[in-house]
Structure 1
Amino acid sequence: MQTIANGLKGPLKRPQDLIACYGGKEFAAILPQTTVAGARFLAATCLAHIQSLDLPHSSSPLRVLAWSFKAASLVPTVGQRVENLVQMADQALYEAKARGRNQVVTWPIDR
């Protein structure tokens, strides 16, 4: 996990950006004042870096670690709940997995 975390932190350039372990096998990137396009670009950069590591994964049909990145963005409003942002990102993740992994999908779902 440390190798992956370091790979994800590499593309972050701003001091306010944060990568954190979220759940067992997930990471969250908190990117204040970042558009969905900016988050998509950063996720694609991280994906390319992680893929270049060619990390073995014995239970994957690809025999290497596969990644799916989800991205969602919102401008907070009064009464907005953080759970809404997590739900939007999760929908993007399900779509990425349905498409075969090793890709980035944003919310609203980009087709």
Structure 2
Amino acid sequence: MIVEVTDSSFDEVVLASSRPVVVDYRAQWCLPCRLVEPVLAELDEELAGRARFVQVDCDLNPGLVARFGILTMPTIQLWRDGELAGVVFGARPKGALREEILTALL
């Protein structure tokens, strides 16, 4: 299950995680974000226990948007051991996104 992360919960949920974390920066009005959402949900199920998937609503969490300089949506950050291991900009097909995640995180 993809969890919503906020300005106040990001450090605890993402940086302190013992598992790799995939962070999806999105907005309700963003069509590419809506297209990638079911792809991430499928990958969340496939990689259950190996990686955690979370999302950030950019309109509701301007602190994270500013902190990480998020200019494009969707932006997908790949975190491992509290360190940024990779970034994917824009929507990708499932196979390409899976490969990016596996390469950076696992």
Q: Calculate the TM-score normalised by the size of structure 1.
A: 0.27
Structure 1 or 2: more strand by fraction? 2
